[in-house]
Structure 1
Amino acid sequence: MSKSLKLYGQTEDDLTVLSGLMQDAAVRVGDMAYDPAVRRFAMVANRFRWEQADAGRKRQPGERVRTGLHFNSVDSVALKGVDRGQPDAMLDLLAITWQAGADGTGNVTLIFAGGASVRVAVECIDAVLNDLSSAWPARARPAHENDDRSEEERPETVQDGDASWN
């Protein structure tokens, strides 16, 4: 059995690593939560284990593992294309991005297939990724086609005025 991951993210480079590890994670809408009292956004996902798949096993379907990811020092959360009224709806995570503000604050954006996104406004990057279960065989290895769309043709991420978590 390979080791479970527990990683902390405090820089933009750290967030890039977490994004790569979380790419293609399957997330149930009901497994995302924001607690403004403790200023934390958290989610649990079925993460594809890219760190194992890239270890010379290109023809095998790979593994998935239940993984928790949370962000601390959260000021607000905004949603685009995510219906919290449908907690069993599934989202496929494509990337996690960072947009720094002028004062050290910024936005972490979770970008999902189909144009959905979650913008997490934070005081600073303070993230934790933690594998919560043993791995199990994946049904298939995620595959991606090249995205040749222009910036104008790509799905938008959360903008001011989109739905807030509250």
Structure 2
Amino acid sequence: MTQDAGFEDGRERPLNLGAEDGEDLKVIAALTQDAVLEARDVSWRPKERRLALLVNRFRWEDRGMERHGPERVRSLLVIDNVLKVASQGIDPKDRETVLSLLSIDFEADAEPPSGAVLLTFAGDGALRLTVEALDVSLKDVTRPYRAPSGKVPSHE
């Protein structure tokens, strides 16, 4: 018998999560909210049908924040089974543009499991990924580091 992971399983270990349905994706979306990256850290590989983003994500799951302050960690967010990528408000030629991820949503087609993954960024930027099936992973790839701002992100 297998059990779902509990919050206490997250402890201080690196995250390595996957999502194959909308409910799973909500967990990854919550953990990547307010992640920041430069446009150069987005890699679209059409032959592999993969979009990968190397993000600096805020560690929302960190229970030791009062001990050591707010932290971020470099994480790899990968969306597989991507058939097409469309962008709005993001200049692909400006590789130094800083993007701040606000949300990740999945819109299922009438014929599941296909649909669209929508990545929404601050400042009206967005990526819409047409996917054959939902397959998203999030993996921490560095040790946590103190957030440069020293603050918890907030939205007013």
TM over 0.5: yes
Secondary structure of the structure 2 residue equivalent to 1:19: helix
Match of 1:134 among 128, 132, 143: 143
How far off its partner does 1:62 sit?
0.9
Match of 1:89 among 87, 97, 106: 97
Is 1:40 aligned to 2:50, yes or no? yes
Note if contact 2:65-2:71 (Cα within 8 Å) is conserved in structure 1. Answer: no
Tell me the residue number matched to 1:65. 73
Give the Cα–Cα distance (whole angstroms) in 2 for the partners of residues 119 and 59 of structure 1.
39
Is 1:115 aligned to 2:124, yes or no? yes
Note if contact 2:52-2:77 (Cα within 8 Å) is conserved in structure 1. Answer: yes
Tell me the residue number matched to 1:6. 16
Secondary structure of the structure 2 residue equivalent to 1:43: strand
How far off its partner does 1:14 sit?
0.6
Match of 2:86 among 58, 70, 78: 78
Note if contact 1:9-1:126 (Cα within 8 Å) is conserved in structure 2. Answer: yes
CA gap of 1:58–1:93, structure 2 versus 1, over 3 A, is farther
How far off its partner does 1:144 sit?
1.1
Instruction: Give the counterpart letter for 1:14 in structure 2.
Output: D
| TM-score (structure 2 length as normaliser) | 0.87
Give the Cα–Cα distance (whole angstroms) in 2 for the partners of residues 44 and 57 of structure 1.
23
Give the Cα–Cα distance (whole angstroms) in 1 for the partners of residues 84 and 24 of structure 2.
21
Match of 1:19 among 26, 29, 33: 29
Instruction: Give the counterpart letter for 1:111 in structure 2.
Output: T
Is 1:124 aligned to 2:133, yes or no? yes
Paired residues, number = 143
| TM-score (structure 1 length as normaliser) | 0.82
Secondary structure of the structure 1 residue equivalent to 2:40: strand
Instruction: Give the counterpart letter for 1:141 in structure 2.
Output: V
CA-atom RMSD in angstroms: 1.6
Q: Any gaps of 5 or more consecutive residues in structure 1?
A: 146-166
How far off its partner does 1:42 sit?
0.6
The superposition leaves residues 22-46 of structure 1 with CA deviations (integer Å, 9 ceiling, x where unpaired) of 0000011010011110100111000
Give the Cα–Cα distance (whole angstroms) in 2 for the partners of residues 129 and 70 of structure 1.
7
| Paired-residue identity, % | 38
Q: Any gaps of 5 or more consecutive residues in structure 2?
A: 1-10
